[in-house]
Structure 1
């Protein structure tokens, strides 16, 4: 028996052909055309449906009887060009009537395949038109698949083929690992394998497969590095997230080193603002540690703005405790009504400077300290900064410059005065400018003893400034202005001394307001100056000589208050 399945082509039919192997047909071979198995014919019905007369009739005409038929692959495709088919024996079937079912020579009796119930044309004869070409017994025919019993053994691999350069049947690799640009080459390779080419050996010779293997290794290495880096980054950020949410904040231990540092806390600073200042100065190790300590201390929220003398590398709790101790604070406190001379002395002391240093800077550099443009408009003003060192607490520690401290105070005054429309208010109160309004506030602050007195005191000032004032003839007659002039605070002033002094600040000998403020008024005094009472007050006396002030509308009432004062003071 001759070896079946070899055509006149240059290469044998390969048993792993994906189109005609056992795996492609589920273990059954479909043979659309008659085949010769040792002189017998077998014509099983294909599970995909054979071409019947009605199907071929669509091509028109009648095919001659007794001729071989083209082989189909179950999908209506004929043989491939260049692969001649083995001719079928003539005369075994005349083309009419049902095809005979011929059993395989080694299989014994064979039952005929039933027709496909979904195929209305199954088991019917085939008719061809005479116009349909016949590819059997021609060089274009393609050999049909062999039965399993007659298949040849696996051909020996090419001598130059490297088994490691090709993936086995179960080792197909994803394009990601083999290189996405290999798709086109793989398609050509598959087509060549179908036609029995020797490209497998050629690839090994050319080194292309080995190059792919090297690329596979590089791709795997890149994937490992990427995954490793991603896992490492995720772990790091996960640890940071845990530390931030649940871990203990980094902190120093103890009361710190012997090195001290001054930390300035601005007004309005919150917990994290303070913590940031402390961390930047090297006092605490982390902001979170200080914020946690502040939240755990009942007095933690009472921290005030100012300068604090602290140690470096302190625990957050010890730093907070020291800041709550007044001894650690290095500030200058400007009290309402306090004169500039007292403020200058306090700054010199806090900065450890020679007495008079700050006052000299104030009188020579006042234009560079941020005064509003309506300030210092009178050449007779004794101190251009008087009334503009706004009451409050200001950082003043060793190493700071006096002008820096003064700038903070002036800036605060400018901000506070800016909240009110002083120009319009001054005009409504028959004053010349905002500076006179601040001057009135300074008088109210100096003469009034309590906030309840301030509005009445402001009315006394405005009533005495009126041109219609016949009680004092526009003379204020305030002891506070003379005391400012003298740099003193005496309650008992000699009338002869007062009447002989002609300074513009002496309101006993000069009508109207003094050239400028005589102190630094606070918010309460300023508000009272903006909103005086309207009860007709024109006189007042501190009847107890200290804290109690009483008011009168007439001179007769004033005399009674004066007698009361003399009785309480022993005059």
Structure 2
């Protein structure tokens, strides 16, 4: 009798092990090939709620084994929230390991050169689904700005354009910190010394770089455009840069008028002397380098040719000739 009972217990035990192994580690073959499903696990979710989510979305065929596994291993508080990509269906063990490691979805976000801080935030919001109001409030965080060493009342100009990897659960402060840190990685001591020799501090340097960036998307022109602005500054001439005027116009409609050019604003370099009070965009490495490594020229003017490039001139008479040639004929 005892042998029979022992045999029955052994059968039940090993059967339970096999069933448990099947439920936790395997996926029925007839369900493959698998598709990928994105699931958002909110912060503060219990393992029971997560398992239910996984079951309802079809990621787990049986949600109960996950609940049991978490309870047995006592890892209730170790499951990480966030955005996950799961194959449908997945084994309980695959899902458990992913949640335990916090193997959340990583988004690659590329910021082109010349975006304003506001435009960068809009891109970030669209890519990650983050509320723009939260991001905007982060840009107004003076304590964060000071901690990161930004020498300006704003982050404009210091959010380096590059490709970044972000997750939806990253705090906005961390995203901004990553971008500013990347910016300072492109500020060499050699170029800082060159800026000082040109009688510019870091803010003035990046302000000029931002104007260069907005004036031309052609990198080979950046040192030449830099030389124009340095030459004008040396002669006490106003920079007369259209992008600075546009930056100072709230809700610019795309049509730059003579009235706009004549209206004084802190950013209107047709009416104000010297550099504007701060950057007008986030410049890339080429413009940043060019601002303190200008070409050696006597140019004081340039005109867009219509193909993305510019022609340069040393005197106003030649400049007017190019204006007639490339601008007035349109």
- Which TM-score band (shorter chain)? 0.5 to 0.7
In structure 2, what is the equivalent of residue 532 of structure 1? 294
**Partner Cα distance (1:403, 1:354) in 2:** 13
Shift of 1:495: 1.7
- Structure 1 residue 489 displacement after superposition: 6.9
Cα distance in structure 2, aligned partners of 1:421 and 1:311: 48
- Which residue of structure 2 aligns with residue 450 of structure 1? 218
- In structure 1, runs of 5+ residues without a counterpart are 1-249, 263-306, 316-327
Q: Which residue of 2 aligns with 1:94?
A: none
- Greater helix share, structure number: 2
Following TM superposition, by how much is the alpha carbon of 1:309 offset from its aligned partner in structure 2, in angstroms?
Answer: 5.9
Q: Distance in 1 between matches of 2:124 and 2:288?
A: 25
2:213 and 2:283 in contact (8 A); partners too: yes
- The answer on 1:562 being equivalent to 2:323 is yes
**Of 164, 181, 194, which aligns to 1:411?**
181
Tell me the equivalent position of 2:237. Answer: 474
Whether 2:110 is the aligned partner of 1:333: answer yes
Deviation at 1:387, TM superposition (A): 0.9
SS in 2 for 1:356: helix
User: Which residue in the other structure is 2:308 paired with?
Assistant: 547
The alpha-carbon deviation at position 441 of structure 1 amounts to 1.1
Contact 1:476 1:511 in 2 (8 A): yes
Give per-residue Cα distances to partners, 1:285-342, cap 9 Å, x unaligned.
Answer: xxxxxxxxxxxxxxxxxxxxxx996326879xxxxxxxxxxxx863332111111110
The equivalent of 1:114 in structure 2 is: none
**Which one of the candidate residues 128, 143, 157 is aligned to 1:367?**
143
Cα deviation, residue 373, structure 1: 3.4
- The question of whether the paired residues in 2 share the 8 Å contact of 1:256 and 1:314 is answered with no
Q: Which residue does the alignment assign to 2:22?
A: none
**TM-score, structure 2 normalization:** 0.66
Larger Rg: 1
Name the SS of the counterpart of 1:550 in structure 2: strand
Q: Which residue of 1 aligns with 2:69?
A: none
Map of 1:138-177 to 2, 5 A cutoff?
A: none
The Cα of 1:408 is off from its aligned counterpart by: 1.1
Offset of residue 357 of structure 1: 2.5
Contact 1:374–1:434, Cα closer than 8 Å, also in 2: no
Q: What is the TM-score with the length of structure 1 in the denominator?
A: 0.40
Higher relative contact order (CA 8 A, sep 6+): 2
**Structure 1 residue 402 corresponds to structure 2 residue 179:** no
Q: Does the C-alpha gap of structure 1 residues 257 and 349 become closer, same or farther in structure 2, counting only changes over 3 Å? A: closer
Question: What SS does the aligned partner of 1:486 have?
Answer: coil
In 1, are the aligned partners of 2:159 and 2:282 still within 8 Å (CA)?
Answer: yes
* 1:496 Cα deviation from its structure 2 partner: 2.2
Distance 1:366 1:453, change over 3 A: same
Judge conservation of contact 2:191–2:289 (CA < 8 Å) in 1. Answer: no
Query: Given the alignment, which residue of 508, 514, 518 partners 2:276?
Result: 514
CA distance in 1, matches of 2:35, 2:205: 50
Deviation at 1:394, TM superposition (A): 2.1
SS of the equivalent of 2:163 reads strand
Q: Distance in 2 between matches of 1:456 and 1:341?
A: 28
**Residue 428 of structure 1 pairs with residue 197 of structure 2:** yes
